Amino acid sequence: MPYAGSPMTASHYERLSFLDSTYLALEGPSTPMHVGATLVFEPGGGVDVDALRDLIADRLRHVPRYRQRLEWIPIERHPVWVDDAHFDLGFHVRHVALPHPGGPSQLRSLAGRVFSQQLDRSRPLWECWVVEGLEDGGFALITKVHHCMIDGIAGVDLLKVLLGPAPDATVAEPPAYLPRPGPSGVGLLRDEVVRRLRAPVDASRSLRRFLEETRDVGSEVRHRARAVANTIGSGWFQNTSATPINGRIGPNRLVAWIETDLGQIKQVKDRLGGTVNDVVIAIIAGALGAFLAEDRGVALEGLDVRAMVPVSLRDGDSAGRLGNRLTMWLVELPLEVRDPAARLARVAARTRRLKETNQALGAAMLTGGASWTPGTLLSVAARLAATTARPFNLTITNVPGPQIPLYLMESRMVANFPMVPLWVNHGLSVALFSYDGKVCWGIAADAEMVPDLERAAAHLIAAVGEMGTAAGMPERETVVEIEEAT
């Protein structure tokens, strides 16, 4: 929530939530905690970089967080957002060209390098790289935003800032940027003391509102208590099996991309059951099982391998707001089940159980209950938990996007490959973005732990085909954005 100082100072700042602060605390030299994407645009007349900068300058008024930087409350060290009085758009919007021949390999290599680099915490935590020199005459944008200020669902809303449903070369004159003055360190500390003294009163008011608004208090309390209990017992405090994709990671990232037909995945769901997300998870489980067994020589029987799957808590009122409003599921991956239909049934049964026990609510309550943890303690606790515990082996996130073509000025976007960060001791992550009838898969990996990422991508392509065959569908051509695996 925003805070304002006294009328004399008229200072302004916003306190980061517990979850947003956690993403900052988890970051280290080998674990940059930003999300990103590579947006590819159709061949044509290229891009006017100056016009694009003017467009971004104009649209930033709709996303004020992009002109805010971090500040910290003295002693407690909890982060807050303040307007950046020295905001420089040129630092954030960068212009590069690919080396010859400018193919997918060169674009992926650049995206991996950009994704490997930490964002500068003294500035607003985002970058946009305009990439020319693609072999087909098109161009690309490589974007990255720190996870502390955005989650996947909010990211979809942010596309509306720059992209539109029709070509439009109109660029308005950017309005003047007038940063609000930030608070002094003394002012931040004073406000924090007042906030903590006021906490018991606020808690009492919240409880009173809860009692007034809840018809069946006992039922609601029992429901929430069961959700927390189910979450605690779901594996968050139990380590998974050690695998070749879990261990000490370095700072360098590789990325791989593929495109598949969204209609095919929906047909699999209709014919075999489950949800689109269930089909996606089952496909990834099949690909990961094949990769571990065939390329790493791992025996799959008896392995306890889980994926962390973000679940959005956003509603209509919070859509489009920056900041993280999500929680996480832990989904067991039946790697040893090689039959695609049986694997999908296992995944669907697991996710149904997660919904029935309302573990998204339980996880949200657990993280919400820690929101009063001092920043210095939070940082230590987050790093300790990340290095000593392994409740999941990889991250899988699936973000639904618009199913119509979108344009940046006059250029049509043809693909949007997402990237999500690697947690400590996690060498692989998979992110999906559905757009205009296709699914864009973005795979990120630690360059040392998974140097043969193209092999994992090849297994993913095969798993998509196997799932379609199991559903009785004719083979379809998969658009591949990786070089053929040898």
List the pLDDT tens digit at each of the 486 positions of the chain: 455 443 334 678 898 988 788 889 889 999 999 999 999 999 876 799 999 999 999 999 888 899 999 999 888 888 999 999 999 999 999 999 999 999 999 999 999 999 999 999 999 999 999 999 999 899 999 999 998 887 444 443 556 789 999 999 888 888 899 999 988 877 787 777 777 677 665 555 554 554 454 444 444 444 444 444 444 455 556 889 999 999 999 999 999 999 999 999 999 999 999 999 999 999 999 999 999 999 999 999 999 999 999 876 544 444 444 444 456 788 999 999 999 999 999 999 999 988 887 554 444 444 444 444 454 444 444 454 455 567 899 999 998 889 999 999 999 999 999 999 999 899 999 999 999 999 999 999 999 999 999 999 999 999 999 999 999 987 665 555 554 433
**Residues 6+ away with beta carbon under 8 Å from 241:** 302, 303, 304, 305, 393
User: Closest Cα to residue 288, out of 238, 237, 236, 331?
Assistant: 331
Q: Can you give the length of the chain in residues?
A: 486
Give the sheet arrangement for strand 12-15, strand by strand: 2-4, 12-15, 79-83, 68-72
Contact yes or no for 427/249 (Cβ under 8 A): yes
Question: pLDDT tens digits, residue range 173-196?
Answer: 888 999 999 888 777 877 777 776
Sequence-distant (6+) residues with CB within 8 A of 384 are none
62's tokens:
């709709």
Buried b (16+ CB within 10 A) or exposed e, 354-387: beebbbbbbbbbebeeeeebebeebbeebbeebe
Please choose, from the candidates 391, 386, 388, the residue with its C-alpha nearest in 3D space to the C-alpha of residue 359. Answer: 391
Q: Tokens 């149904």 correspond to what residue?
A: 352
CB burial string 213-233: b at 16+ within 10 A, e below: eeeeeeeeeeeeeebbebbee
Residue of 304, 258, 279, 247 whose CA lies nearest to 456: 258
The single-letter code of the amino acid at 471 is A
Residue 255 to residue 109: CA distance in whole angstroms: 8
Using CA atoms, how far residue 203 sits from 197, 211, 365, in Å, is 11, 12, 15
For the question of residue 147 being annotated catalytic, the response is yes
Whether residue 134 contacts residue 107, with contact meaning beta carbons closer than 8 Å, is answered with yes
Question: What does each C-alpha distance from 65 to 17, 141, 379, 430 come to in angstroms?
Answer: 14, 20, 23, 27
Q: How far is CA 205 from CA 145, 192, 200, 210, 394, in A?
A: 36, 19, 9, 9, 40
Q: Return the pLDDT at 349.
A: 95
Catalytic residue, chosen from 12, 34, 147, 459, is 147
212 burial level (CB within 10 Å; 0-12, 13-18, 19+): exposed
pLDDT of residue 312: 64
Residues 6 or more apart whose CB falls under 8 angstroms from that of 1 comprise 14, 15
> Which residues are within 8 A (CB) of 119 and not within 5 positions of it... i.e. 6 or more apart?
32, 34, 125, 126, 127, 144, 146
Rounded Cα–Cα distance for residues 155 and 41 (Å) = 18
Give the separation between CA 111 and CA 103, rounded to whole angstroms: 13
Per the DSSP assignment, residues forming a β-bridge with 418 are 37
Residue spans of alpha helices (H) in 291-421 = 340-356, 359-368, 375-388
Task: Look at residue 235 in the predicted model and tell me its pLDDT.
Answer: 53
Q: Which residue has the tokens 């709709």?
A: 62
Assess contact for 171 and 48: CB atoms under 8 A. no
Domains of the chain by start residue, with CATH? 2-164 (3.30.559.10), 233-397+439-480 (3.30.559)
The residues near 450 (Cβ < 8 Å, ≥ 6 apart) are 245, 254, 427, 428, 456
To which H or E segment does residue 67 belong?
none
Alpha carbon separation from 398 to 72, 190, 347, 431 (Å, rounded):
33, 42, 15, 6
Which pLDDT score is estimated for 310? 84
Name beta bridge partners: 3. 13
What are the pLDDT digits (tens) for 285-325? 999 999 999 999 999 999 999 999 987 654 444 444 444 44
Query: Following CA atoms 308, 279, 261, 144 in sequence, which dihedral angle do they give, to the nearest 10 degrees?
Result: -10
Query: Is the whole-model pTM more than 0.85?
Result: no
Q: How many CA atoms lie within 13 A of 433 on its CB side?
A: 25
Structure tokens given for 309:
């799957």
